[in-house]
Structure 1
Amino acid sequence: MVFALLAAGCSDDTNQDTASTLESKAATAQTEEQNSGKVQTIEDIEGWEHPTKNVFERYGLQLMKVELSHDQTYPTFYLSTDPRRLLTDPGFQYELAEANGYWDYKIIYDDQFVEIYADKASKLVNKMVTSSETIDMFWREENGNRHNDSYTIRYGNRIIFSDLNGGIYLNELDGSHLITLSDDYAENMSIHANELFYTSNASIYRLNLSSGRQSVLYEGNDDEPIQWMELSHNQLYWVNGKLQVMDLQGGNRATLLKDRIILSPQIVNGDLLYASRDVTTDRFTIQRFDLESREKRVVKQGIDDLYGMQQYEDGIYYLTRTRSPDDGKCTCSIQRMELDGSNNTVLHSFTDNVHSMNVAGDWIYYVRRDSAQYEVIARLSLHNHGQEELLPSSPTYRMLGEWKLIEDPDIFDSPGELNITANWLYYYNVYGHNSYLQALRLPN
């Protein structure tokens, strides 16, 4: 009994110390929780100093008040000026995100709002959320643009395109609010953060989409024009007779492949997929090149008259074009095989010349010869291989300083490489009375 009392006494002292410590920690945690839940309201905007204030002023937007929450790391900006299109403009939001140190934030005007989710470590804006939509800034459309000159690209809820004569432009998804970004000729466009990377003849450029600042990352020889470029994992890969790589600042340049990559290069899951021609047999081989291990492996070899190739979802689609040595007529076919080269199937055959294949959505798009209009743009269903549709030739939009609707019965003269972005198909007529960039709104 004496032992029990002594033990109880010792135990009681210990429990009192522990209880005191726990009470102190609980009080501290409660205070921190209360502090983190506090909202600091700033209404004296004139006396408030912060880099974000300068961005709003540059765009002509007036702040009414700012609320700071989450330990004063999350600002909610209340505007007294209607932001209109700026609310979801990627360029504006990137400027604001940079000024805010890439912390998340929110903008409110009347009943409109946008929430910006950013990444402090990588200095990227991940997404923009409004009451009606979520805009994924990393989302890139899966299609064949990257081996068809890549002169159009999606940027948040905007489209950037080059008119292939001289000029880089930006507009909204419906084709409105055309803005000139540069007077450059541009191909092989890629986007990282708020920077547009593109090629022009033999050189590689970087263009800041907010400030318009341009820099040259690689200046090549005009005798070796760049045939293809793509951005992957913060690296730029390009082909000008050989495969090369460098970082996004133009440094650490290296040559990865010296053999001539001549057809449809594209980066898929860390591999460069491309086709090369054997000069001894005049046949083509489709290969994969692991960009990390630098190992090559053959997918399929011994292909006659390969003209274009694209990996799309779980298959590889390719176009063959065989010319008759007697009369020059073409026999073409669109074929599909598994990713390992097996189960090769002819999806559709043509007795007319076919070129400029691009697979997107549920369709294979291409240009083919037509007796009535010289050439037409058509598409083939991925699910019903015998179902071919001609895209309507009217209405069609042309680049005449701005997008305009023009009725023209001879709209398709000779369309070149097809690009597909959002619900638009872009093409540039190689020759003819309408030889400039056009965009056709795709059917549903």
Structure 2
Amino acid sequence: MSKNDAFLHLYDALPDDIARRKAMGDLEGALRLIDARLAGGAQPQLAPRLEAERLRLTRLPYDYPYTKAQGLEQIRAEWPACTPAQLEALMDAGRIDWRMIGGEVHLHRRFLESLRLYPKDAPGLVHTPVDNTARDALLARMRAEGGLTASITLRASIQALVPVEGKAVEAWLPLPAACPQQSHIELLEHTPGGVAAPENAPQRTMWWKTSGVSGFSVTYRYQFHARYTDPMSIAADPVQPAFDLEEQYPHIVFTPYLRALAGELTRGCTSPAEKARAIYDYVTEQVDYRFQPAYLQLDCIADQCAKTLRGDCGVFALLFITLCRIAGIPARWQSGLAVRPDHVGPHDWAMFYIAPHGWLWADCSFGSSARRCGEPERRSHYFGNLDPWRMVANSAFQAPLAPPMSGWRQDPYDNQCGELMVDGRGLDESERVWQQEVLEFQLL
């Protein structure tokens, strides 16, 4: 059993005294109470929850480094007229994510990037309009031709920023996995000693176990086929399959709030496609994008997203998946990279199933972005479809790596950037650097 399984227990409530310390920002006090309980050993069933919380508290200051005064200073560097009251209003409106640390409010490290997405709310900040001309042309061609296939060559790397001389080192880097969209997967070059997981691994990686090596890389080529389907044109079977409908604690949970919401959204729908479309419309029209802390800091992700109406790509996906499962529509996770010819970065989305057609896709994050930009056609495209600008590495949320990582993972749920472990300790985000590079991109 990996220690990362402790994160499966996050749905268990913390003891009140620890929860109160955390809520007031007394992280040292909360850690002291956790250590005392763990040392006492009287509540072994509670130990995994406390161990997971201990790691969360130690990592929390990295995600929320700025006081309100420091945040206001950063804003005023571009928007001198911004007042403390306006900063407070942005926080109240959910445009700025914050936590209590050391008894005072601290802002998320990417709060400025979140603010830039909403020019009306923060008019004094520099806003760079997104040019979707190339994407819109690609999607139009995909719809006209029924699908598009890309041949893509990528290089992924990860480097330790801590001393490794004479120390045991393990590394994991994501690889393209076998899935309905990907084929012709080739591993072209890699740091010696790498072992590739099977192509059907739920979080596929290349793994190294060595000593004194600080950097690892792998170069691979694959083909990605994005077919086009109009989900509303599917004549669904009268009886739909019963797989991928279960809860998955701690984040895919059928809370009373989500049950009521799913019932309200799908009331009057007569087909699986209508239900899925109603859920997609809700998520993309109501939830706004906001950069998130490390997912290990989030509680019951789908439920909280529905209540705060804020999230990033993975949070959007988990809400869609959970609501679909409640409504009786099989749904699952998929993630890896968004790969444009000139840019690559981590991305998450969802899959849903309608018999007899099979799997379809929903990218609620891209759909929400299209709504924000006033582009309804693009928003509609990402219900049922993706694009050929992808690399799929993961087919399951909170699956183990291959082989499982014995130390704490940087991300215990997903793997898009890789993991590093030195002398049995998983490296935090600030202790490593990672990169993905597009070496070749060709539409076939």
What TM-score, normalized to structure 2? 0.21
Higher relative contact order (CA 8 A, sep 6+): 2
Q: Normalising by structure 1, what TM-score?
A: 0.21
Q: Please identify the structure whose Cα radius of gyration is greater.
A: 1
